[in-house]
Amino acid sequence: MTASLSDIAIRAGVSVKTVSGALHGGSARMSEETRQRIKEIAEELGYVTNFAARSMRQGWMPLVGLVADDLITSPFATEIIRGLDGAVRAADMAVFAMTLGGHRSIASILDEMRRFRPRAIAYAAMYHKSVDLPPEFADAVGVMINCRDANDRVTSLVPDETGAALEITNYLIDAGRRNIAFINLPGLLAGELRELGFRRALDQAGIDGAGAIVLPAVSKAIYSDRAHSLVATHVQALMNGPRRPDAILCGNDRVAMEVYAALRREGAAIPDDVAIASFDNQVEIASRLDPPLTTMALPHRAMGRQAAQILLAEDRAPVGVQKLPFQLVERASV
Amino acid sequence: MTASLSDIAIRAGVSVKTVSGALHGGSARMSEETRQRIKEIAEELGYVTNFAARSMRQGWMPLVGLVADDLITSPFATEIIRGLDGAVRAADMAVFAMTLGGHRSIASILDEMRRFRPRAIAYAAMYHKSVDLPPEFADAVGVMINCRDANDRVTSLVPDETGAALEITNYLIDAGRRNIAFINLPGLLAGELRELGFRRALDQAGIDGAGAIVLPAVSKAIYSDRAHSLVATHVQALMNGPRRPDAILCGNDRVAMEVYAALRREGAAIPDDVAIASFDNQVEIASRLDPPLTTMALPHRAMGRQAAQILLAEDRAPVGVQKLPFQLVERASV
DNA sequence: TTGAAAGCGCTAACAG
DNA sequence: CTGTTAGCGCTTTCAA
Picking from B1, B3, B10, the residue whose alpha carbon sits closest to that of residue B43 is B3
Question: Which whole number is the average pLDDT over B263-281?
Answer: 96
Question: Which whole number is the average pLDDT over A4-25?
Answer: 86
More confident residue, A212 or A115: A115
Tell me how close the Cα of B262 comes to any Cα of chain A, in angstroms: 9
Picking from A317, B31, B271, the residue whose alpha carbon sits closest to that of residue B263 is B271
Task: Say whether residue B32 is in contact with chain A using an 8 A CB cutoff.
Answer: no
Picking from A308, A317, A321, A322, the residue whose alpha carbon sits closest to that of residue A120 is A308
pLDDT tens digits along A215-246: 999 999 999 988 999 999 999 999 999 999 99
Alpha carbon B44 to chain centroid, angstroms:
42
At residue A71, the pLDDT reads 58
Examine the pLDDT at B28 and tell me if it is beyond 60: no
Phi and psi torsions of A329, nearest 5°: -110, 105
- Could you give the CA distance from residue B73 to residue A189 in angstroms, rounded to a whole number? 26
CATH class of B161-297: alpha beta
Q: What is the homologous superfamily of the domain A60-159+300-324 according to CATH?
A: Response regulator (3.40.50.2300)
With an 8 Å Cβ cutoff, are B290 and A53 in contact?
A: no
Q: Which of residues 101-140 of B touch A (CB under 8 A)?
A: 101, 111-112, 114-117, 136
Examine the pLDDT at B175 and tell me if it is beyond 80: yes
Which residue is nearest nucleotide C5, judged by alpha carbon to C1' distance? Answer: B17
Examine the pLDDT at B248 and tell me if it is beyond 50: yes
Task: Say whether residue A48 is in contact with chain B using an 8 A CB cutoff.
Answer: yes
At residue A27, the pLDDT reads 46
The percent of residues in chain A predicted with pLDDT above 70, rounded, is: 95
Task: Say whether residue B208 is in contact with chain A using an 8 A CB cutoff.
Answer: no
Q: What is the mean pLDDT of chain A?
A: 92
Examine the pLDDT at B104 and tell me if it is beyond 90: no
Band (B72; pLDDT cuts 50, 70, 90): low
Picking from A225, A220, A275, the residue whose alpha carbon sits closest to that of residue A254 is A225
Residue A67 to residues A72, A104, A124, A131, B119: CA-CA distances in angstroms? 9, 12, 6, 13, 22
What lies within 8 Å, CB to CB, of B66 at 6+ separation is B81, B84, B95, B96, B97, B98, B121, B122, B124
- Chain A interface mutation, best of B2, B4, B96, B116, highest count of A Cβ atoms under 10 Å: B116
- Could you give the CA distance from residue A97 to residue A82 in angstroms, rounded to a whole number? 12
B59 vs A contacts (CB less than 8 Å): 1
What does the DSSP assignment read for A128-172?
EEEE---GGGTTT--EEEEEEETT--S-EEEE-HHHHHHHHHHHH
At residue A101, the pLDDT reads 78
Tell me how close the Cα of A240 comes to any Cα of chain B, in angstroms: 21
- Could you give the CA distance from residue A264 to residue B270 in angstroms, rounded to a whole number? 15
What does the DSSP assignment read for B113-141?
HHTT-EEEEEEEEEEEEEE---GGGTTT-
Facing residue for A55 by CB, picked from B52, B98, B99? B52
Band (A29; pLDDT cuts 50, 70, 90): low
- Asked if domains A60-159+300-324 and A161-297 share a fold, the reply is yes
A20 touches strand D (CB under 7 A): no
Q: What is the residue extent of each domain of chain A?
A: 5-49, 60-159+300-324, 161-297
At residue A217, the pLDDT reads 97
- Could you give the CA distance from residue A299 to residue A163 in angstroms, rounded to a whole number? 12
Examine the pLDDT at A72 and tell me if it is beyond 70: no
What lies within 8 Å, CB to CB, of A118 at 6+ separation is A60, A61, A63, A64, A65, A96
Nearest nucleotide to A54, CA against C1' atoms: C10
